[in-house]
């Protein structure tokens, strides 16, 4: 189709192009989280440069997932490329990733679950328990409440059964 308003062909984004972009974003995120962890291990400090990179990658990934005709493939590629594992590592308090960057990662995880609830398996029970402190300490992490709650609830709807379910349910009720 030709867009007469701009005088040329409409750009077409191929599935392969989007897949490669997602692979590169996952690789960049894995590297940034790894470098932030190294900084934290050596210096007991958050790595601001790597944190900014993590947040930028999260925002770029969210934008990529909003390409509706490619969203499911991109999310699957994020799993396959290790990006979700890197995200979960970056969500840890001792990751070296700043809280502002973790807020971006939490939003990315929330978008990861949007319209693809089967992705709960990639987060798993360990991921639920990793996100739970952000709900339990809501006053400390106010911007994390909603995205973490959405991710945890989506995981539970997909029949993941983490240990301590009773305690988890109480925390979820308080967070709603």
Phi, psi of 96 (to 5 degrees): 85, 0
Bridge partners (DSSP) of residue 8 are 3
Q: What is the pLDDT of residue 172?
A: 78
Tokens standing for 162?
A: 């983490």
pLDDT for residue 170 is more than 90:
no
Interatomic CA distance for residues 14 and 117, integer angstroms: 24
Per-residue pLDDT tens over the stretch 51-110: 999 999 999 999 999 998 999 999 999 999 999 999 999 999 999 999 999 999 999 999
Mean pLDDT of 158-176: 75
Total length of the chain: 176
pLDDT band at 2 (very low <50, low <70, confident <90, very high): very low
DSSP string, 20-62: HHHHHHHHHHHHHHHHHHHHHHHHSS--HHHHHHHHHHHHHHH
Q: What is the pLDDT of residue 6?
A: 54
3-class SS shares of the chain: helix, strand, coil, % to 5 = 70, 0, 25
Q: What is the pLDDT of residue 175?
A: 77
Q: How many CA atoms lie within 13 A of 69 on its CB side?
A: 7
Give the closest residue to 166 by CA, choosing from 126, 117, 156, 176.
Answer: 156
Interatomic CA distance for residues 148 and 132, integer angstroms: 8
Q: What is the pLDDT of residue 4?
A: 52
Tokens standing for 166?
A: 């009773």
Bridge partners (DSSP) of residue 2 are 9
Q: What is the pLDDT of residue 27?
A: 98
Q: pTM for the full model?
A: 0.88
Q: What is the pLDDT of residue 1?
A: 46
Interatomic CA distance for residues 87 and 12, integer angstroms: 29
Per-residue pLDDT tens over the stretch 32-52: 999 999 999 999 999 999 999
Does residue 161 or residue 20 have the better pLDDT? 20
Per-residue pLDDT tens over the stretch 107-162: 999 999 999 999 999 999 899 989 999 999 988 999 999 999 999 999 888 876 77
């Amino acid at each position: 189709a030709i867009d007469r308003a701009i005088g040329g062909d409409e750009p077409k984004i191929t599935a392969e192009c989007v897949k490669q972009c997602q692979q590169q974003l996952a690789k960049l995120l894995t590297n940034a989280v790894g470098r932030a962890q190294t900084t934290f291990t050596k210096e007991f400090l958050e790595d601001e440069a790597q944190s900014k990179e993590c947040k930028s990658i999260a925002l770029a990934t969210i934008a990529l997932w909003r390409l509706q005709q490619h969203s499911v493939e991109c999310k699957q590629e994020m799993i396959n490329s290790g990006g979700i594992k890197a995200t979960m590592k970056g969500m840890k308090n001792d990751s070296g990733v700043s809280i502002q960057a973790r807020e971006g990662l939490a939003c990315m995880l929330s978008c990861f679950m949007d319209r693809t609830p089967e992705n709960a398996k990639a987060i798993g029970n360990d991921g639920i328990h990793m996100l739970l402190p952000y709900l339990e300490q809501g006053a400390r992490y106010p911007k994390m409440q909603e995205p973490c709650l959405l991710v945890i609830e989506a995981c539970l709807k997909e029949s993941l059964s983490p240990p301590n379910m009773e305690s988890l349910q109480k925390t979820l009720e308080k967070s709603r």
